[in-house]
Every structure is written in C-alpha cells, then in structure tokens.
Amino acid sequence: MKVLIIEDDEKVGSFLSRGLKAEGYLTLLLTDGLNAVETVKQFEPAVIVLDRMLPNLDGLVICQQLRSQKVSARILILSALSEVDERVKGLRAGADDYLGKPFHFEELLARIEALAKRSVNAEHKRQLQVADLILDLDTMRVQRAGQELNLTAKELGILELLMSNSGKVYSRERILTNVWGLNEDPLTNIVDVYLARLRKKIDDAHSVKLLHTRRGLGYAIMQE
C-alpha cells in the first residue's frame, strides 16, 4: 500500500516515513507542495498524509486541486491548526480525515489503516468476472456478453462458488456441501441437474464455453 507524505518538517517527515515503512507501507516524502499534484498522479498513493502549512503552496489548496482533478486517494491532513473551524475547513476542502499536531503515531497509523481500507473498497467493485461472464455480488445480477441472465438462487450459489475460484475443479460433493449444506445428495443427481441448467443458461448461446466438466473430478468455470 502506497502512502505519500507531504511534510516540510524534515524530522517529522522522516519519522513518519520510517514508521510507516516499518508497518509495511511503501512511502514517498515531499517537503513542499509545488509538485504535489504531479507526484500524486505518478506515484498513485492510496493515502496522502498532507501537512496543512507548507512552503509555496498551502495544504488546503493542494487538497482542493487534487479533488478538482478527480484524484481518488484518501487524504489525511496533519496540522498544528487543530481547532474545530480549521478541521472543518480541511474537510470541506476535500480531506477525508484531519489530525492535529502533536499526535501519537499509533493514532495516525490507525487512521491511515482505516483510510487505506476505504480506498481498497472503493477501487474494487464487488463483482466476479470470468471472460464476459459477470456476477454482481451486491445485486446478484448475472450478465454474459452484456445480456442479463435469469438464474435461480441455487444456480447463483453454484455460480458464485465456481467464479470465486475460477479454474479450480469442484467435485459434486463439495458443491453439494457449499451450496446446499448437505453431505449426501438426497436426489442422487441434484448437482448434475443444476449444473446442466446453469450450462444451458451461460454457455448455450456462445461459442466460447466457460463451464467445464472434468470427468471423474467435477466442475470448473474458466476460459480455456
């Protein structure tokens, strides 16, 4: 995870850089704000620790510039100006969080961890995709080549299991356990019946087949 530190106090900046590196972050330190926007675009950090009072360019101005250019990195303003009205200014300028100086490193680290998680969640849509087959995990809608498919709850359960582990072969028994919560097939071939229905819906209209049978082993979804 990349963290860009923009801090003109070299001791504070060095302390932050060393501490975050020790926690596994990849860091880059800037000591003024003149090249901040270009550096953000090149470095592509998930989180920016931004000092409020910088030489040449104020931290709030940098924050506003980043947001005006649709930069999605999370911004944590770090400043000796910690009064309520100053924190409000920072948040209104586009910052995601605001921490006053002096600060405890553990608190700063916790705030960066929270922002980093938000950044990752924003960047990764909750969907599974194999070739042109897409399953939206929030709405449980399925599309193949842009065409929406109508699947039953059990078909969706099988599809999510196989797409979550694309290329991995699942035996009938493992599919039964994961989707039905059963260890034995009450209808002897219920898994085969549902897989046949699923194959018809996702593959029959397409030359490229995604649902594959591995004789004697089970089923897998993959693009061969």
- C-alpha distances out from residue 134 to 145, 200, 203, 222, 223, Å: 9, 16, 13, 12, 13
Residue 49 pairs in a beta bridge with 5, 76
- Look at residue 41 in the predicted model and tell me its pLDDT: 86
Of 199 and 137, more confident: 199
- Contact between 207 and 223 under an 8 Å Cβ cutoff? The reply is no
- Look at residue 212 in the predicted model and tell me its pLDDT: 96
**Whole-number percent of the chain with pLDDT over 70:** 94
- Of the pLDDT bands very low, low, confident and very high (cuts 50, 70, 90), residue 57 is confident
Tokens (6 digits) for 220: 């897998």
Tens digits of per-residue pLDDT, 98-134? 999 888 999 999 999 888 877 655 555 578 899 999 9
How deeply is 79 buried, as exposed, middle or buried, from its count of CB atoms within 10 A (0-12, 13-18, 19+)? buried
Global pTM?
0.55
Residues 6 or more apart whose CB falls under 8 angstroms from that of 53 comprise 8, 59, 79, 80, 81
- Look at residue 121 in the predicted model and tell me its pLDDT: 52
Across 163-178, average pLDDT: 88
